[in-house]
Amino acid sequence: MKALRAEHLTSGRDAKAWAKPTLPEYAFIGRSNVGKSSLINMLCHIKKLARVSNTPGRTRNVEHFRVEGTLSSERPWMLADLPGYGFAKTSKTERAAWEVMIHLYLRERENLQCVFLLADSRLPPQRNDLDMIQWLGENGIPFHIVFTKADKLSGPKAQANIAAMKRELKKTWESLPPMHTTSSETMLGREDILGVIEEVNAAWMKGA
């Protein structure tokens, strides 16, 4: 399996500190420790591109990366590793600062094509994930849901959690967002997600 060429560009809390929005961009968001940084490393097939940690709440800034290529294309794109939410030890002030930064990023980032919202496949629907999904929907931001850590659980148990998420979303949504199941250990879902990115990159090129 080929590693993609990728480099870390910037780490920052506001638009001035973020990499210039010159390429189609994809953001990875989710609860603290859900596996955002691990998924980014898995997609690029580079062990230590994004910092993975056993200590939740490690990624505090928006981390921008430039990546070259997907499955069968060499087109460059950008990705953003966003700090996680729902870490119990975060102070109220920090939580408020997180919200301001994330909402600003999601609303204003002009090259953002799609958000990948990560949810732990081992857990039933979590309130903060549902709130984030609701917010993305209300703000018209395209997103996919990615169920992580599929290697840690038997298939049927993960399927039950995914089905519960679908049931929950159907209460307020007419149509469901695209969903993917991944494991950063086994690389499950890599082609699936890179395929989405490749398709959107191609459409972006046509529109550019």
Does residue 37 bind ligand GTP (CB under 6 A)?
A: yes
Residue 114 CA to its chain's centroid (Å):
9
CB of 51 to Mg ion, least distance (A): 6
Does residue 126 bind ligand GTP (CB under 6 A)?
A: no
Does residue 21 bind ligand GTP (CB under 6 A)?
A: no
Does residue 36 bind ligand GTP (CB under 6 A)?
A: yes
8 Å CB contact between 23 and 46:
no
DSSP state of 177: P
Burial class for 1, CB neighbours closer than 10 Å (0-12, 13-18, 19+): exposed
CB of 59 to Mg ion, least distance (A): 4
Structure tokens at 140: 């018209």
Does residue 121 bind ligand GTP (CB under 6 A)?
A: no
What's the sign of the alpha-carbon dihedral 149, 155, 158, 159? positive
Residues 25-84 within binding reach of Mg ion (CB under 5 A):
36-37, 59
Does residue 184 bind ligand GTP (CB under 6 A)?
A: yes
Q: Which is nearer to Mg ion, 37 or 184 (CB)?
A: 37
Q: How far apart are CA 173 and CA 124, in angstroms?
A: 18
Does residue 54 bind ligand GTP (CB under 6 A)?
A: yes
Q: Which stretch binds ligand GTP (CB under 6 A): 19-27, 123-131, 144-152, 189-197?
A: 144-152
Task: Return the bridge partners of 80, or none.
Answer: 27, 64
Does residue 184 bind Mg ion (CB under 5 A)?
A: no
For 112, other C-beta atoms within 10 Å of its C-beta total 19
Where do contacts with ligand GTP occur on this chain (CB under 6 A)? Answer: 30, 32-38, 52-54, 56-59, 84, 148-149, 151-152, 183-185
